[in-house]
Protein backbone atom coordinates (compact mmCIF):
# COMPACT_ATOMS: atom_id res chain seq x y z
CA UNK A 1 0.00 0.00 0.00
CA UNK A 2 1.37 3.42 -0.93
CA UNK A 3 1.30 6.41 1.40
CA UNK A 4 -1.35 8.00 -0.84
CA UNK A 5 -3.55 4.88 -0.66
CA UNK A 6 -2.96 4.76 3.10
CA UNK A 7 -4.08 8.38 3.51
CA UNK A 8 -7.19 7.85 1.40
CA UNK A 9 -8.08 4.74 3.45
CA UNK A 10 -7.52 6.53 6.77
CA UNK A 11 -9.51 9.60 5.72
CA UNK A 12 -12.47 7.44 4.64
CA UNK A 13 -12.36 5.48 7.93
CA UNK A 14 -12.06 8.71 9.94
CA UNK A 15 -15.12 10.13 8.19
CA UNK A 16 -17.10 6.93 8.81
CA UNK A 17 -16.07 6.88 12.47
CA UNK A 18 -17.31 10.42 13.13
CA UNK A 19 -14.20 11.03 15.24
CA UNK A 20 -12.05 14.16 15.03
CA UNK A 21 -8.26 14.18 15.09
CA UNK A 22 -8.08 15.12 18.77
CA UNK A 23 -10.36 12.25 19.80
CA UNK A 24 -8.39 9.81 17.64
CA UNK A 25 -5.07 11.07 18.99
CA UNK A 26 -6.27 10.68 22.59
CA UNK A 27 -7.19 7.05 21.88
CA UNK A 28 -3.84 6.41 20.17
CA UNK A 29 -1.78 8.31 22.75
CA UNK A 30 -0.05 10.80 20.45
CA UNK A 31 -0.39 14.53 19.84
CA UNK A 32 -3.04 15.44 17.29
CA UNK A 33 -0.72 17.46 15.05
CA UNK A 34 1.85 14.67 14.80
CA UNK A 35 -0.72 11.91 14.38
CA UNK A 36 -2.59 13.83 11.68
CA UNK A 37 0.66 14.50 9.85
CA UNK A 38 1.51 10.78 9.93
CA UNK A 39 -1.95 9.91 8.62
CA UNK A 40 -1.44 12.39 5.78
CA UNK A 41 1.83 10.65 4.91
CA UNK A 42 4.32 13.23 6.16
CA UNK A 43 5.58 11.30 9.20
CA UNK A 44 5.78 7.66 10.21
CA UNK A 45 4.55 5.89 13.32
CA UNK A 46 6.11 3.25 15.52
CA UNK A 47 4.36 -0.15 15.45
CA UNK A 48 2.34 0.27 18.66
CA UNK A 49 0.61 3.58 17.76
CA UNK A 50 0.19 2.47 14.13
CA UNK A 51 -1.59 -0.69 15.29
CA UNK A 52 -3.64 1.30 17.82
CA UNK A 53 -4.77 3.76 15.14
CA UNK A 54 -5.84 0.84 12.94
CA UNK A 55 -7.73 -0.65 15.88
CA UNK A 56 -9.50 2.68 16.57
CA UNK A 57 -10.51 3.11 12.91
CA UNK A 58 -11.11 -0.57 12.11
CA UNK A 59 -8.32 -0.80 9.54
CA UNK A 60 -6.19 -3.80 8.59
CA UNK A 61 -2.48 -4.51 8.98
CA UNK A 62 -1.56 -3.14 5.54
CA UNK A 63 -2.48 0.35 6.77
CA UNK A 64 -0.34 -0.14 9.90
CA UNK A 65 2.60 -1.21 7.73
CA UNK A 66 2.18 1.86 5.51
CA UNK A 67 2.01 4.12 8.58
CA UNK A 68 5.33 2.66 9.75
CA UNK A 69 7.06 3.19 6.39
CA UNK A 70 9.38 6.16 6.20
CA UNK A 71 7.76 9.11 4.42
CA UNK A 72 9.08 10.92 1.40
CA UNK A 73 8.64 14.49 2.64
CA UNK A 74 8.39 16.00 -0.79
CA UNK A 75 5.91 18.45 -2.18
CA UNK A 76 5.72 20.31 -5.48
CA UNK A 77 6.93 23.71 -4.37
CA UNK A 78 9.76 26.01 -5.35
CA UNK A 79 11.45 27.01 -2.12
CA UNK A 80 14.16 29.51 -1.22
CA UNK A 81 17.66 28.30 -0.42
CA UNK A 82 18.20 30.35 2.75
CA UNK A 83 18.32 27.63 5.43
CA UNK A 84 16.05 29.34 7.97
CA UNK A 85 13.43 30.33 5.41
CA UNK A 86 13.67 26.90 3.78
CA UNK A 87 12.91 25.25 7.14
CA UNK A 88 9.77 27.36 7.50
CA UNK A 89 8.69 26.21 4.03
CA UNK A 90 9.47 22.66 5.11
CA UNK A 91 7.24 23.06 8.19
CA UNK A 92 4.35 24.23 6.01
CA UNK A 93 5.05 21.52 3.43
CA UNK A 94 5.11 18.76 6.03
CA UNK A 95 2.44 20.08 8.43
CA UNK A 96 0.34 22.37 6.20
CA UNK A 97 -2.36 19.81 5.40
CA UNK A 98 -2.38 18.83 9.08
CA UNK A 99 -2.91 22.45 10.13
CA UNK A 100 -5.71 22.80 7.55
CA UNK A 101 -7.44 19.64 8.84
CA UNK A 102 -7.34 20.70 12.47
CA UNK A 103 -8.31 24.36 11.80
CA UNK A 104 -11.22 23.05 9.70
CA UNK A 105 -12.43 20.85 12.55
CA UNK A 106 -12.17 23.63 15.12
CA UNK A 107 -13.46 26.59 13.09
CA UNK A 108 -15.10 25.34 9.90
CA UNK A 109 -14.31 26.11 6.27
CA UNK A 110 -12.14 29.21 6.08
CA UNK A 111 -8.68 30.68 6.39
CA UNK A 112 -6.46 32.44 8.89
CA UNK A 113 -6.02 36.12 8.14
CA UNK A 114 -2.54 37.39 7.40
CA UNK A 115 -3.86 40.96 7.73
CA UNK A 116 -5.52 40.75 11.17
CA UNK A 117 -2.48 38.82 12.35
CA UNK A 118 0.36 38.85 14.82
CA UNK A 119 3.44 36.72 15.24
CA UNK A 120 5.85 36.36 18.13
CA UNK A 121 9.27 34.78 17.95
CA UNK A 122 10.74 33.71 21.26
CA UNK A 123 13.70 31.81 22.56
CA UNK A 124 13.14 28.98 24.99
CA UNK A 125 16.27 27.91 26.80
CA UNK A 126 16.56 24.15 26.96
CA UNK A 127 19.40 21.96 28.23
CA UNK A 128 19.05 19.78 25.11
CA UNK A 129 19.48 22.86 22.88
CA UNK A 130 17.70 26.20 22.80
CA UNK A 131 14.33 26.22 21.04
CA UNK A 132 12.81 28.67 18.57
CA UNK A 133 9.18 29.39 19.49
CA UNK A 134 7.09 30.95 16.72
CA UNK A 135 3.52 31.86 17.64
CA UNK A 136 1.19 32.93 14.84
CA UNK A 137 -2.13 34.49 15.76
CA UNK A 138 -4.57 35.30 12.96
CA UNK A 139 -8.26 36.05 12.85
CA UNK A 140 -10.35 33.21 11.42
CA UNK A 141 -12.14 34.22 8.24
CA UNK A 142 -14.95 31.84 7.20
CA UNK A 143 -15.66 31.42 3.51
CA UNK A 144 -18.82 33.21 2.45
CA UNK A 145 -21.66 31.69 0.44
CA UNK A 146 -23.68 33.82 -1.94
Q: Looking at the domain assignment, is residue 75 inside a domain?
A: no
pLDDT on residue 1: 95
Active-site residue, selected from the candidate residues 22, 26, 65, 90: 90
Q: Which of 5, 16, 55, 87 is catalytic?
A: 87
Positions in the chain short of pLDDT 70: 75-77
Pairing of strands 110-124, 131-142: antiparallel
In a domain? residue 73 = no
Q: What is the CATH number of the domain that holds 138?
A: 3.30.1160.10
| Domain end call among 20, 37, 68 | 68
Contact between 113 and 103 (Cβ < 8 Å):
no
pLDDT of 15 reads: 97
The predicted structure's pLDDT at residue 73: 74
Residues 6+ positions from 54 with CB-CB distance below 8 Å:
60, 61, 63, 64, 67
Given a contact cutoff of 8 angstroms between Cβ atoms, the answer to whether 31 and 25 are in contact is: yes
- 77 within some domain: no
| Residues spanned by the domain of 64 | 3-68
Note if 87 is an active site residue. yes
Active site residue 131: no
Count of the separate structural domains present in the chain: 2
Tell me, yes or no, if 90 is annotated catalytic.
yes
Percent of the chain topping pLDDT 90: 79
Residues 60 and 88 in one domain: no
Amino acid sequence: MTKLEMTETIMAAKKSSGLGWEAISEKVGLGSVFLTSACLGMNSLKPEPADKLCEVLGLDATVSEALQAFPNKKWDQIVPTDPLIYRLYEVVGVYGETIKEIVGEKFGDGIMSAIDFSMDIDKEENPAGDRVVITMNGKFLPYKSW
